[in-house]
Amino acid sequence: MGDSVAEGLGDPVPGYPDQPWADRIGAELVWHQAALTYHNLGRRNTRAAHVRATQLTRALECAPDLALVACGGYDTLVAAFDADRVGAEIRTIVTALRERDCTVITVSMIDGSRSPQVPDAFRDGFGRRLRDLSRVTQAIAHDLGTLHIDLFDHPVGSASDIFSADGRHANRRGHAIAAAEAIRAIGAHLGTTAAAENGIAG
C-alpha cells in the first residue's frame, strides 16, 4: 500500500532486475509458498490521506497476513508538510491492519534530499521534511510493533548512483537494496516467531 514508493517507480540500472522492490519481495515469498497471493495497491502522486481513503478498505478485504505500508513521501514535496498529520494517517492505516492480526512492514525511505538532481535551494527543507516523516514512522513502528525498514540513515543513502533521473525515486539498485533489507527483516521475524512457538529462548 502507498504512493510511488510502494508502486515501485524507478529507473532501470544495468546488472539489476528491472523490477520494483515490493514486487521482488512478493516474488520471493511466492517462491517459498506458491499458494500466496500478492497485490500491489500503490499509486504514484498519492498523499497519505488518500492512501487511507482509497486503499485501506481494499487491503483489508484481502485479509492479508503481511502488508507493506509506504506512504507520506508525496506529502513531503510541499513546504506546508505537517508530519504529525501525515503520521496520524499512517497510524490509522497500520492500526487497522494490526487489529486484523496482520504483520506490517513500515518504511523510512531513502533520504532523497541527497540526490544530485535535487536543487540546492530545495535540499535542506526537503531533507528536514523527510527526516520528520522518518521520525513519525519510526514512532508508529515502535508503538504498533511493525517490522520497520530504516533506509533513511542507511549507508547507501550517501551514494550518488542510487537515484533515478527525476531525483525523487530510487533506481533499481536502490530497489534491490530496499528489497534485501525487507527480506532480511521478514526472515528474522519468522525465525523469532518459530523459536517462540517451539519454546526456544532468544
In a domain, 202, yes or no: no
In a domain, 56, yes or no: yes
Domain count within the chain: 1
| Residue-wise pLDDT tens digits, 114-146 | 888 889 999 999 999 999 999 999 999 999 999
Q: Which of 119, 114, 106, 188 is nearest to 153 (CA)?
A: 114
In a domain, 164, yes or no: yes
- Domain at 35, CATH number: 3.40.50.1110
pLDDT at 175 over 60: yes
In a domain, 201, yes or no: no
Whole-number Å distance between alpha carbons of 76 and 88: 15
Q: Which residue has the higher pLDDT, 95 or 79?
A: 95
In a domain, 139, yes or no: yes
Q: Percent of the chain beyond pLDDT 90? A: 80
Q: Which residue has the higher pLDDT, 51 or 113?
A: 51
Looking at residue 42, what is its pLDDT? 97
Q: Which domain holds residue 125?
A: 4-196
CB neighbours of residue 166 within 10 Å: 14
Would you call 121 helix, strand, or coil by DSSP? Answer: helix
